[in-house]
């Protein structure tokens, strides 16, 4: 036997047993894969059977027909029933949803949904949240509040959705507050939830905005813009005068009235190019004839995007005619400004031609 | 009594003996011992690293699968989805460009535009596009933050307002992507290969991380092997397994590489590569980083490593995320030569990406990318083939020369192959746990067989090809893309 094998028995032993562990783990994984596949096959069979049995009943309910007999919900059908029912609920509105709720009450699936909230399995909890939300089950309120405060983004925002379904007047206050505070909640989802209570949101935003910290303002602005909330001028005005560029450009995006024009004009000389871009955009919404010189200044800005937005604002002004080169010359003789005007004019005419061509 | 290497050197120092003396007193056993230690430790570290990534992936995938009930709900667009520019570089794609673009136009997403960049094709690519999509000249002056080869014309489709074509001088894929980035109107862009097959909701899935976290600057999607699948109208309609053994090996490889390799790194923000076949980026950071580097063959990975380096240097919060759902399918090579060339090219790309961003490694602000991912890639992916093959060769020679016992040699093979099989099986398990897209039991059986067979020749062959790639990179030999033999029946007019 070589010197190595004599001296390295501990190494060999350690390596050998590592190999043995690897083989055992491989076998375990292989068995696990087969078990998972068998379970999946079984689940799919039950799912097909459940859908085959309940889809006609639910379809009839959606169509407004009273089902003659509502079958009994078997224990092994509960999960697949709830999934099918939730999927259909998400696809319908109004009376169809109420009819589906009636089916759910008839087969006592509300208790199933509530029981899922108590389980540790996260997938079942999510199903339960959706279930009690569509059923507007008030008895689940306290559990939903607990979920909403959790750090689990998905569970928390879905719980908020469910609470807004159950009692929107109560839930909207938390919805606005957490919608602004929680960066881990996807903005589209928050907008979808808050969008169901536009008037309440308008009032709450007006109350909340002056009090929230500066780091939260950009998100609040994004929400307000997405929800098309028209904030009072007296709230926007001080925000337009803040130091932080992110706050100013966020506020500029919400400007819709000429009352704020002086504050908007003051932003045209801001050091941050993003603020100047939003200034040009805001002016495109509220500008009057007297703002043309200011837009021309922005048209000659060093930043391409500022020039682009300024050109769009100028071209969009109904009292400005730019059909002829002399008319463009009258606006600006700056080379980059002229090029940008020509670009925007070409974009507008190309779009017209394209529409005609198609 | 065996002497250690150090004892030997100490005794030799005052004595400047002859070569003969040196050879006679060469500490063979110490060297063998040290080498064997090194090889074993290397293999153990390598596999412990992969197993750790596997564990991270397992936790992340399990969590994602719990949210499947939400993904099954009808998707409603809120209007807040970030619009995307899909950039499709095209060079001599005349035979399949029309079908590819037609299927991309059918992607289900709120707002997106497609920019095809005709990179100086010498075939009829541009003529096909003009004819199929009614292209008309479009006046476009745009900012060029990234230098590219000259753009000859901009064309807009009259039949599809969200389709534009840039015709430019040939500059390569990276240059084409940069031209597309310059012309992109939207804050996100997505580079897609012309032969990639996406799913209708691919954009929706790959954009989701951007909506959930504003610090996300890039996402990559899982690329799966399309060979053996049914494609209709440019979309995958039925999943199947290839019958070609080369392609089957790659199915197993892709499962391992994507499902636990990249998924694991994604959990700790250490993803160093977003596949060029399908990846989404925020335009701003990419433009600030200078766009894709045109003088590298692995431009996709190089950009991502550079983004890590620059964001870390600036101490800006960011994440690069991997989306594990199968959302992009691509045809894998089915012949030896094409596969070989591909792997050689990939290894060169890896070398170029790492060496052009050295300063990320162990940098003070490097974080996971600099202290874990980069060294891991360097040691186990870049140098891995060299060490792995050297290990096999050394052990075989040592056994043949009687320096090590048959037990030692056997144990080495047992550990090396056993751990390799374990890693491949764990990739298969993750696929079964999270996606189970191969529906039939016989699919599973075939995959299991190839998981085993992969470790008896294919992996070693792969390591050899990668070693060739490493050698060619070191020699700075001219690198080319080569041409791939396409077999996909869907690559034609539909």
Report strand pairing: B188-192 vs B197-198.
Answer: unpaired
How far off is chain B from A179, nearest CA to CA, in Å? 13
Which range, of B92-101, B122-131, B301-310, averages the lowest pLDDT?
B92-101
Q: Which residue has the tokens 């290839």?
A: B242
Closest CB to A90 among B37, B74, B143: B74
pLDDT of residue B4: 46
Closest CB to B415 among A19, A26, A127: A19
Whether B427 contacts B260, CB under 8 Å: yes
pLDDT of residue B492: 38
pLDDT digits (tens, 9 = 90+) for A71-120: 999 999 999 999 999 999 999 988 999 999 999 999 999 999 999 999 99
pLDDT of residue B396: 87
- SS3 percent helix, strand, coil of chain B, rounded to 5, is 55, 15, 30
The answer to whether the CB atoms of A16 and B414 lie below 8 A apart is yes
Report d(CA A251, CA A202) in Å as an integer. Answer: 15
* Residue of chain B whose Cα is closest to the Cα of A30: B425
Interface probe for B, chosen from A188, A225, A228 (most Cβ of B below 10 Å), is A188
Output the DSSP codes for B67-126: THHHHTSPP---S-SPPEEEEEEESS-TTTHHHHHHHHHT---SSEEEEEEEES-SSSHH
Q: What is the 3-state secondary structure (H, E, C) of B170-201?
A: CCCHHHHHHHHHHHCCCCEEEEECCCCEECCC
Q: Which residue has the tokens 């056997």?
A: B410
**Choice between B260 and B168, residue whose per-residue pLDDT is larger:** B168
Set of chain B residues whose Cβ sits within 8 Å of the Cβ of A26: 418, 421-422, 425
Assess whether pLDDT exceeds 50 at residue B489.
no
Backbone angles phi, psi at A166, to 5 degrees: -75, -50
pLDDT of residue B17: 52
The answer to whether the CB atoms of B138 and A357 lie below 8 A apart is no
- B31: tokens are 């060297």
DSSP A187: H
Assess whether pLDDT exceeds 50 at residue A3.
no
Interface probe for A, chosen from B211, B212, B416, B438 (most Cβ of A below 10 Å), is B212
Whether B141 contacts B151, CB under 8 Å: no
Closest CB to B432 among A16, A37, A91: A37
Kindly indicate the confidence band of residue B308, based on its pLDDT and cuts at 50, 70 and 90: very high
Kindly indicate the confidence band of residue B410, based on its pLDDT and cuts at 50, 70 and 90: confident
Name, in order, each residue with C-beta under 8 angstroms of A30's C-beta and a sequence gap of 6 or more.
Answer: B425, B448
pLDDT digits (tens, 9 = 90+) for B47-60: 889 989 999 999 99
pLDDT digits (tens, 9 = 90+) for B229-275: 998 878 888 999 999 999 999 999 988 888 778 889 999 999 999 98
Name, in order, each residue with C-beta under 8 angstroms of A159's C-beta and a sequence gap of 6 or more.
Answer: A129, A144, A145, A147, A148
Interface probe for A, chosen from B219, B403, B422 (most Cβ of A below 10 Å), is B422
Assess whether pLDDT exceeds 70 at residue B2.
no
The answer to whether the CB atoms of B415 and A83 lie below 8 A apart is no
Nearest 5°: CA angle at B431, between B425 and B436? 125
pLDDT of residue B122: 95
- B121: tokens are 């094709």
pLDDT digits (tens, 9 = 90+) for B439-487: 899 999 999 999 999 999 999 999 999 999 999 999 875 545 555 555 5
* Residue of chain A whose Cα is closest to the Cα of B410: A16
Closest CB to B158 among A5, A18, A358: A358
* Residue of chain A whose Cα is closest to the Cα of B428: A33
The answer to whether the CB atoms of B44 and A18 lie below 8 A apart is yes
The answer to whether the CB atoms of B139 and A347 lie below 8 A apart is yes
Report strand pairing: B197-198 vs B216-225.
Answer: unpaired
Closest CB to B69 among A4, A16, A127: A127
Closest CB to A184 among B72, B139, B212: B212
Assess whether pLDDT exceeds 60 at residue B287.
yes
Interface probe for A, chosen from B70, B160, B211, B444 (most Cβ of A below 10 Å), is B70
Q: What is the 3-state secondary structure (H, E, C) of A207-246?
A: HHHHHCCHHHHHHHHHHHHHCCCCCCHHHHHHHHCCCCHH
Report d(CA A160, CA A189) in Å as an integer. Answer: 10
- A192: tokens are 């979808």
Closest CB to A30 among B67, B403, B425: B425
Nearest 5°: CA angle at B447, between B442 and B451? 150
Q: Model-level pTM?
A: 0.85
The answer to whether the CB atoms of B404 and A4 lie below 8 A apart is yes
- A351: tokens are 């779009």
Report d(CA B196, CA B97) in Å as an integer. Answer: 11
3-state secondary structure of A304: helix
3-state secondary structure of B220: strand
* Residue of chain A whose Cα is closest to the Cα of B78: A188
Burial degree of B276 (CB within 10 A; 0-12, 13-18, 19+): buried
Assess whether pLDDT exceeds 50 at residue A9.
yes
Assess whether pLDDT exceeds 80 at residue B21.
no
Report d(CA B466, CA A71) in Å as an integer. Answer: 62
pLDDT of residue A87: 94
Output the DSSP codes for A336-358: HHHHHHHHHHHHHHHHHHHHHH-
Give B221's strand partners.
Answer: B323
Which range, of A166-175, B218-227, B391-400, averages the lowest pLDDT?
B391-400
**Choice between A342 and A177, residue whose per-residue pLDDT is larger:** A177
Count helices and strands (H / E) in chain A.
Answer: 20, 0
Kindly indicate the confidence band of residue B412, based on its pLDDT and cuts at 50, 70 and 90: confident
CA nearest neighbour of A178 among A164, A165, A167: A164
For residues B97-123, average pLDDT: 93
How far off is chain A from B481, nearest CA to CA, in Å? 36
Whether B129 contacts B95, CB under 8 Å: no
pLDDT digits (tens, 9 = 90+) for B69-104: 888 887 766 677 889 999 999 999 998 899 889 989
- SS3 percent helix, strand, coil of chain A, rounded to 5, is 80, 0, 20
* Residue of chain B whose Cα is closest to the Cα of A19: B415
């Amino acid at each position: 036997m070589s010197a190595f094998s004599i001296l390295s028995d501990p190494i060999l032993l350690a390596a050998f047993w590592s190999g043995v562990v690897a083989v055992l783990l491989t076998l375990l994984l292989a068995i696990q894969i087969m078990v998972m596949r068998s379970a999946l096959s079984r689940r799919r069979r039950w799912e097909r059977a459940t859908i085959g049995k309940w889809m006609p009943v639910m379809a009839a309910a959606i169509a407004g027909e009273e089902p003659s007999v509502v079958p009994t919900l078997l224990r092994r059908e509960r999960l697949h029933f709830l999934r099918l029912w939730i999927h259909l609920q998400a696809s319908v509105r109004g009376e169809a949803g109420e009819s589906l709720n009636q089916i759910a009450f008839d087969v006592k699936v509300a208790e199933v949904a509530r029981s899922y909230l108590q389980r540790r399995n996260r997938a079942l909890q999510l199903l339960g949240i959706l279930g009690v939300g569509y059923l507007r089950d008030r008895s689940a309120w306290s559990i939903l509040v607990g979920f909403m405060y959790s750090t689990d983004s998905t569970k928390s925002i879905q719980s908020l959705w469910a609470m807004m379904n159950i009692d929107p007047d109560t839930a909207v206050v938390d919805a606005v507050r957490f919608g602004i505070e929680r960066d881990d909640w996807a903005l589209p989802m928050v907008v979808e939830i808050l969008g169901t209570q536009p008037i309440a949101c308008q009032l709450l935003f007006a109350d909340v905005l002056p009090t929230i910290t500066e780091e939260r303002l950009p998100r609040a602005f994004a929400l307000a813009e997405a929800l098309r909330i028209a904030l009072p001028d007296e709230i926007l005005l001080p925000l337009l005068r803040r130091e932080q560029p992110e706050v100013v450009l966020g506020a500029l995006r919400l400007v819709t009235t000429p009352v704020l024009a002086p504050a908007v004009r003051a932003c045209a000389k801001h050091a941050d190019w993003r603020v100047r871009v939003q200034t040009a955009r805001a002016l495109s919404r509220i500008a009057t004839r007297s703002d043309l010189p200011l837009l021309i200044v922005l048209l000659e800005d060093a930043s391409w995007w500022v020039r682009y937005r300024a050109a769009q604002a100028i071209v969009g002004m109904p009292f400005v005619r730019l059909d002829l080169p002399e008319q463009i010359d009258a606006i600006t003789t700056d080379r980059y400004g002229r090029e940008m005007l020509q670009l925007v004019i070409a974009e507008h005419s190309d779009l017209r031609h394209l529409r005609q061509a198609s | 009594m065996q002497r250690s290497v150090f004892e030997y050197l100490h005794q030799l120092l005052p004595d400047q003996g002859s070569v003969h003396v040196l050879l006679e007193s060469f500490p063979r056993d110490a060297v063998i011992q040290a080498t064997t230690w090194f090889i074993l430790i290397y293999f153990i570290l390598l596999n412990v690293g992969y197993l750790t990534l596997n564990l991270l992936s397992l936790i992340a995938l399990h969590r994602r699968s719990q949210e499947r009930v939400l993904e099954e709900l009808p998707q409603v667009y809120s209007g807040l989805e970030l619009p995307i520019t899909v950039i499709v570089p095209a060079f001599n794609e005349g035979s399949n460009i029309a079908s590819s673009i037609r299927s991309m136009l059918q992607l289900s997403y709120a707002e997106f535009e497609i920019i095809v960049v005709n990179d100086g094709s010498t075939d009829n690519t541009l003529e096909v596009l003009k004819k199929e999509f009614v292209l008309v000249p479009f006046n476009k002056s745009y900012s060029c933050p990234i230098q590219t080869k000259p753009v000859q014309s901009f064309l807009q489709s009259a039949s599809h307002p969200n389709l534009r074509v840039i015709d430019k001088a040939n500059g390569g894929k990276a240059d084409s992507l940069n031209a597309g980035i310059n012309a992109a109107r939207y804050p996100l862009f997505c580079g897609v290969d012309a032969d990639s097959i996406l799913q209708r909701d691919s954009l929706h899935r790959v954009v989701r991380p951007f909506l959930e976290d504003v610090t996300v600057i890039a996402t990559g999607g899982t690329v799966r092997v399309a060979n053996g699948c049914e494609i209709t109208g440019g979309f995958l309609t039925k999943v199947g397994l290839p019958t070609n053994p080369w392609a089957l090996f790659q199915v197993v490889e892709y499962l391992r590489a994507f499902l636990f390799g990249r998924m694991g790194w994604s959990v700790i923000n250490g993803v160093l590569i977003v596949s060029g076949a399908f990846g989404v980026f925020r335009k701003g950071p990419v433009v600030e980083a200078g766009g894709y580097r045109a003088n590298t063959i692995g431009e996709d990975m190089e950009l991502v490593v550079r983004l890590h380096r620059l964001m870390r240097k600036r101490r800006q919060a960011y994440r690069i995320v991997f989306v594990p759902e199968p959302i992009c399918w691509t045809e894998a090579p089915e012949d030896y030569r094409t596969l070989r060339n591909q792997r050689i090219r990939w290894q060169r790309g890896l070398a170029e990406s790492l060496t052009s961003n050295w300063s990320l490694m162990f940098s003070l602000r490097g974080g996971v990318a600099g202290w874990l991912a980069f060294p891991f890639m360097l040691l186990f992916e870049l140098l891995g083939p060299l060490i792995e093959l050297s290990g096999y060769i050394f052990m075989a020679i040592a056994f043949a020369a009687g320096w090590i016992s048959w037990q030692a040699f056997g144990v080495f093979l047992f550990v090396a192959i056993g751990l390799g099989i374990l890693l491949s099986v764990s990739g298969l398990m993750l696929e079964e746990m999270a996606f189970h897209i191969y529906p039939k039991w016989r699919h599973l059986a075939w995959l299991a067989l190839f998981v085993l067979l992969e470790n008896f020749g294919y992996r070693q062959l792969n390591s050899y090809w990668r070693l060739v790639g490493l050698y060619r990179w070191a020699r700075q030999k001219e690198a080319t893309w080569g041409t791939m033999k396409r077999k996909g029946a869907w690559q034609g007019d539909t």
